[in-house]
Structure 1
Amino acid sequence: MKEPVSITSIASISALGTTPEEIWEQYLNDNHSIAEKQFDQTSALVAELPSSLKKEIKKLKGSDTKYKKLDDSVLYAIYVSREAVKEAGWNSNDDFGVNIGSSRGATRLFEKYHQEFLKNNKTATLASPTTTLGNIASWVAHDLQTKGPEISHSITCSTALHALLNGVAWIQAGLTDKFLVGGSEASLTDFTIAQMNAMKIYSKQKTSYPCRAFDLEKKKNTMVLGEGASSICLERGNSPKAIAKIEGIGYATEILEHNISISAEAECFQRSMKMALEGVDPKEVDAIVMHAPGTIQGDLSEYKAISSVFCNKIPFLTTNKWKLGHTFGASGLLSLELAIFMLQKQQTIAVPFAMKQHPPKKINKILVNAVGFGGNAVSVLLSK
């Protein structure tokens, strides 16, 4: 990277809550937030937002007549973006850019409008504008009254970290000094659950830990869906307000051999991690927040990639999907939030059922990984 980029704030909503205090408290225990939920056509293990947060989202929806027709994925993004910008001390005069992505987008609304079409052979006037992917960043920019560029995209489960890449690129190109980036996912619907079940990767384990993310000995796939969103504020250089700094970014895409899998050695992760570590001794990395979705191949291939890059000096490894589920497009920034907490608190968070590791004495640098269907990997190196 030409120069460091500072993270001056982060805000999130997930099954763990929304305030830094309650989220960190949840990380300090060995409990998870996964429970069985009854849908219209089925039941499934999922990680929902707490009821208190759902009330906040409902309040947001009713606060403006224009917001009443928006999908939860948009409302989640608005909610966390307001919090992030407020914490960073930004205002509309800053004209910052906005890049908010989502893997699924307006899932619930799309399913609702499609059912209406099948039943009545017509649909509502707002069916198209409220289900286009671009309406996430557009509504966030409208809500915050910024006149900077607005970008929406979907790069499956690495969407949020790709938004971070875009923000860094705009800043380093000298086009802007500030960028708001994030990911939002409200995918707990019948059709989405059905899609995951069809791929035979969804957890059926009604055990103490339904999602066995980073359990390299598991014999069954154990992915569990969660919902949530996160936004972060990026600023050029070493800001005195920084809560963490981005020292390196890496990305890679594998040639597709299968629609949903990456190679056995996760070559995309090997390349993205090496790029993020350019000019940095791998021994300086104290921890890695893995993507680790809870699938047999996904977890093991990422571990093999880490072993290849770091050889016999593997950093402390962790993940949060066993706790808050896989939030698809939002997951990368929720992992980055965990990394920031560990840097701030100087404390690692272990996966209770995973292999035992020795925590580092000090935590100065953490690598965060994300990858989506098709092997589109991103790695981000953070420092204090």
Structure 2
Amino acid sequence: MNLKRVVVTGIGALTPIGNTAPEFWKGLSNGVSGAAPITKFDASLFKTQFACEVKNFDIEQFIDRKEARKMDPFTQFAMVAADEAMVDSGLDLEKIDKSRAGVIWGSGIGGLRTFQDEVTAFAQGDGTPRFNPFFIPKMIADISAGFISIKYGFRGPNFVTVSACASATNALIDAFNYIRLGKADIFISGGSEAAVTEAGIGGFNAMKALSQRNESPETASRPFDKDRDGFVLGEGAGALILEEYEFAKARGARIYAELVGGGMTADANHITAPHPEGLGASSVMKIALEDANISPEAIDYVNVHGTSTPLGDVSETKAIETVFGEHAYKMNISSTKSMTGHLLGAAGAIEAIACIYAMNNSLVPPTINHFTDDESFDKRLNLTFNTAQKREINYALSNTFGFGGHNCSVIFKKYN
């Protein structure tokens, strides 16, 4: 069958380095770190006392206070990013068939703050069950897509993908497939996460997954550096408006980029560690390339998962060298998590946006915080250390991998 084309017509972002998509890109292109001491709670007794928090954010500037109280922060973030993307798209809600417009969102954890607060209050009480009536609706991950669809009246497919740190990319791929199969015209897709809580920091600390560079938070996220010691937890949201190409063209939409391929695989190896040779990572990139019907040599830029963990960074570069061969040394590669930290289930959304901006600005955002070379990485790889690099980008690939062995890759094409 003839598959329909899918394009990006709107973008929204709420991140640790910018509260709008343009601000986010400015932070990326200038190599700004979003890491700082935690302000949301007293972290003085935690092994990690810093994170990449969203800054200078007041939900009441966007949503009525009474309505906002019904939402966990991860849903609040989702609503703000989705609204920016919708405004940016210029969609006229009076002129679309809302039964062919849907929401597919991603979140790895969902309402962690709500769950923590409600259970803590119960444990500290006298045993009498006094729970907020919004406890369950605020906590469940799918509620973000529900709230977005209610706001815009979108009655098409509506759900949330939960595949750990691959969740938002998973959501984009699902929305991509619905549109190209002709089952919908429009999707609001992306992801959000708000896990900078006592439980979030404490849980990842217990796994030894987080950096503990408390004396220098801004340099803690250092993918591919010899002295990397774990990722930095981030929070926020990213939203993309995906439309069927002819539909978008007919309404005169501005088109940012075309989504041309996606892949999903599993490591089937370990609950938290990547396959040591990057088996799942290499296979997912191959599938995405085949889906896009392009050769490996077409890719100009890879936005890697690149979390700054000892094992993950090595396995991903091995996978890239397996898939791209000699071309691996001709591409630009960078990890924007060096600036934003790891937004978990929202990572794929903001990193897709980073790829789109990179293409439209012919500029590769850097991997900041590189101080010491690691012999584990081939020096021929251009990991775009410390400073953004000018480059014409026609195709960009974005990787996201999650605990449980979930792997997702998407490929965007520059729209001319």
Q: TM-score when scaled to structure 2?
A: 0.86
Measured after TM superposition, the shift of residue 198 of structure 1 is 0.7
Aligned partner letter, 2:12 = A
Q: Which residue of 1 aligns with 2:38?
A: 37
Asked whether 1:130 is paired with 2:131, we answer no
Q: Given that residues 92 and 147 in structure 1 are in contact (C-alpha distance below 8 angstroms), is that contact kept between their aligned partners in structure 2?
A: no
Q: 2 CA distance for matches of 1:101 and 1:313?
A: 32
Q: Indicate the residue corresponding to 1:26 in structure 2.
A: 27
Which amino acid is 1:119 matched to? Q
The CA deviation at 1:302 is 0.5
AA partner of residue 319 (structure 1) = S
Residues 369, 378 of structure 1: 8 Å contact kept = yes
The residue number in structure 1 matching 2:376 is none
Is the 8 Å Cα contact of residues 45 and 203 (structure 1) preserved in structure 2? no
Deviations 1:246-270 (A, max 9, x none): 1111111121x32111101121111
Please give the secondary structure, in 1, of the residue aligned with 2:161.
coil
**One-letter amino acid of the structure 2 residue matched with residue 124 of structure 1:** N
Q: Deviations over 1:134-155 (max 9, x none)?
A: 2111111112222222112311
Pick from 208, 219, 238 the counterpart of residue 209 of structure 1.
Answer: 219
The count of residues paired between Structure 1 and Structure 2 equals: 377
- 2:409 partner amino acid: S
Q: Residue 368 in 1 paired to residue 398 in 2? A: yes
Which SS does the other structure have where 1:280 is aligned? coil
Checking the alignment, whether the CA contact within 8 Å between 1:97 and 1:148 is kept in structure 2 is yes
1:318 aligns with one of 334, 348, 351: 334
Report the more deviating stretch, 201-210 or 77-86: 201-210
Cα distance in 2 for partners of 1:33, 1:173 equals 39
CA deviations over 1:40-62 (Å, ceiling 9, x no partner) = 454512011121xx12x23334x
| Aligned partners of 1:92 and 1:144 also within 8 Å | yes
Summarize the Cα distance change of 1:361–1:92 in structure 2 as closer, same or farther, 3 Å threshold: closer
Among residues 254, 263, 273, which one is paired with 1:261 in the alignment? 273
List runs of 5+ in structure 2 lacking aligned partners: 371-378
1: CA distance, partners of 2:82 / 2:146: 12
Aligned residue for 1:78? Answer: 79
1:251 maps to 264
Q: How does 1:52-131 map to 2 (within 5 A)?
A: 54-55=57-58, 57-61=59-63, 63=64, 65-93=66-94, 94=96, 95=98, 96-120=101-125, 121=127, 122=129, 123-131=131-139
CA contact under 8 A between 2:232 and 2:341: conserved in structure 1?
yes
Change (3 A) 1:30 1:165: closer
- Gaps of at least 5 residues in structure 1 are none
* Residues 92-138 of structure 1: CA deviation (Å, up to 9, x unaligned): 44311001121110111111111122123312222222212221111
Distance change in 2, residues 1:144/1:281 (3 Å): same
Residue pair 2:31, 2:365 contacting (<8 A) in 1 also? no
CA–CA separation in structure 1 for the residues paired with 2:390 and 2:14: 29
What amino acid does structure 2 have at the position aligned with 1:253?
A
Per-residue deviation, residues 235-289 of structure 1 (Å, max 9, x unmatched): 113644210101111111121x321111011211111110111131211111100
Q: C-alpha displacement at 1:69, in angstroms?
A: 2.4
Hey, what's the Cα distance between the residues in 2 that align with 1:144 and 1:80?
14
Q: Is the 8 A contact 1:214 1:319 kept in 2?
A: no
Letter paired with 1:366: A
Structure 1 contact 250–378 (Cα < 8 Å) conserved: yes
1:382 aligns with: 412
The residue type equivalent to 1:330 in the other structure is A
1:91 Cα deviation from its structure 2 partner: 4.1
Instruction: Note if contact 1:13-1:49 (Cα within 8 Å) is conserved in structure 2.
Output: yes
Maintained 8 Å contact 1:11/1:18: no
TM-score by length of 1: 0.93
2:343 counterpart residue number? 327
Q: Secondary structure at the match of 1:261?
A: coil
Of residues 298-307 and 229-238 in structure 1, the stretch that sits farther from structure 2 once superposed is: 229-238
Confirm or deny that 1:142 pairs with 2:144: no
How far has the Cα of 1:226 moved from its partner?
A: 0.8
Quick one: distance in 2 between partners of 1:272 and 1:167? 18
Contact 2:14 2:21 in 1 (8 A): no
Partner-residue secondary structure (3-state), 1:174: coil
239-248 or 6-15: bigger deviation: 239-248
Tell me the equivalent position of 1:341. Answer: 357
Alpha-carbon spacing, 1:361–1:15, altered in 2? closer, same or farther (3 Å): closer
SS at match of 1:147: coil
Shift of residue 22 of structure 1?
2.3
Structure 2 match to 1:292: 306
RMSD value over aligned CA atoms?
1.9
CA distance in 2, matches of 1:292, 1:134: 27
Cα 1:92–1:148 change in 2 (3 A) is farther
2 CA distance for matches of 1:352 and 1:98? Answer: 34
Deviation at 1:31, TM superposition (A): 3.2
State the match for 1:169 in structure 2.
177
- Are 1:286 and 1:360, in contact at CA under 8 Å, matched by a contact in 2? no
- In structure 1, the residue matched to 2:52 is 47
| Residue 361 of structure 1, CA deviation | 4.5
| 8 A contact 1:60–1:75 mirrored in 2 | no
- Would the aligned equivalents of 1:245 and 1:383 in 2 still touch at CA under 8 Å? yes
Question: Partners in 1 of 2:91 and 2:32 — Cα distance?
Answer: 36
Cα separation, 2, equivalents of 1:176 and 1:29: 38
